[in-house]
Amino acid sequence: MTLNGAAPAGEQLGRKFEAAWQVFSTTCAEFLAQEASYQAWFAHYVISQFGIDRVAREAIVHIRHMPEGPWRNLLGVSEARLDIVVSRAPGVRAVHYANQHYKAADGTGLSALSDLAVISELKVSFTQAGGLGHSEVVQDAAKLAFLLQEHRRANPEAPQPLAYLCVLDNHPRQKYRFDTLRERMVALEIPDTVRLLHATADPRPALDDAGEPT
């Protein structure tokens, strides 16, 4: 990832990202849609805070040859994709470790995290018919923790991005248990550097007996 220009002096990265989350979770909790729509809406609010030339989706890191461990073992075989990322400065050009036109300097994409201010994952409970399961949310937490760990190991002097796990509970019938999620994260020793942002729709969207919104 290459950058042009400079990051705003004294920028409150966490405050801006969390403001985007607050507006998204308040505005979109009542909407019933597929995952791609929620991702697009959240990206819209993140862009409104940081600008379109600092926000990208699905930054890819090649993890095939990275070390095994409790976090790594929960991830896929070859790559980890990040839902929404924010660069430190304007002029974002997202790398893909296998992109023939612009390959990551280290061949994996991990080094690009040095140029990112925020990495994040988003889960919305309505996107799963039976409600959101804890395993897939914990997997996202492990992904963020693992990438931060490996980035620090490979680039000890480089700045690290803020990492956010964002969960919106808006399923009409199945309430998501955030206390259980926290217990699972503690058991897996997910560090505090992975910040949990969560919101619950109030009131929840309603469906009739035929499964149609009311």
Distance CA 137, CA 7 (A): 31
Q: Each residue of 150-204: pLDDT tens digit?
A: 999 999 999 999 999 999 999 988 899 999 999 999 999 999 999 999 999 988 8
Model-level pTM?
0.89
Does 208 map to a domain? no
Q: How many CB atoms lie within 10 A of CB 161?
A: 26
Tokens in use for 102?
């612009």
Distance CA 82, CA 72 (A): 15
Distance CA 27, CA 40 (A): 13
Does 1 map to a domain? no
Does 38 map to a domain? yes
Does 10 map to a domain? no
Does 2 map to a domain? no
Domain that holds residue 149: 34-200
Does 84 map to a domain? yes
- Angle in degrees, CA 61, 64, 66, rounded to 5: 85
The domain tally of the chain equals 1
Does 24 map to a domain? no
Q: Each residue of 1-42: pLDDT tens digit?
A: 434 445 565 689 999 999 999 999 999 999 989 999 999 999
